[in-house]
Amino acid sequence: MILMDEAFSALDPLIRAEMQDQLLELQASLHKTIVFITHDLDEAVRIGNRIAILKDGRLIQVGTPKEILHSPADDYVDRFVQRRVATL
């Protein structure tokens, strides 16, 4: 298992995208679980097979990116998702 906490948050967008691609390649070759902590939903959707959303240390929803985006578990997750949609 690899644990990464906000690993790419300080990178500029181009380098960040390259690092995300490399991480996906690494995961595919190593077949290891990667826990990737981010506050960026776009990043989570891009690199995650499953996403966990927490609020105040409590797990609110776990699901695939599609499940998170299309079936938010509650108002908090819905607002979080809508912020993403509003910036697209």
Same domain, 69 and 40: no
Reference 6, options 48, 28, 51, 36; nearest CA is 36
pLDDT interval class at 86 (50, 70, 90): low
Q: Do 59 and 83 reside in the same domain of the chain?
A: yes
Residue 85 confidence (pLDDT): 60
Mean of per-residue pLDDT scores for the chain: 93
pLDDT tens digits, one per residue of 25-68: 999 999 999 999 999 999 999 999 999 999 999 999 999 999 99
**What is the DSSP annotation of 41-65?**
HHHHHHH-SSEEEEETTEEEEEE-H
Domains contained in the chain, number: 2
How far is it, in rounded angstroms, from Cα 19 to Cα 25?
10
One domain for residues 57 and 72: yes
- Does one domain contain both 58 and 44? no
* Residues spanned by the domain of 73: 51-87
pTM of the model: 0.85
Q: What is the pLDDT of residue 34?
A: 95
Q: Are residues 63 and 36 in the same domain?
A: no
Instruction: Answer yes or no: do 5 and 43 share one domain.
Output: yes
Same domain for 66 and 31 = no
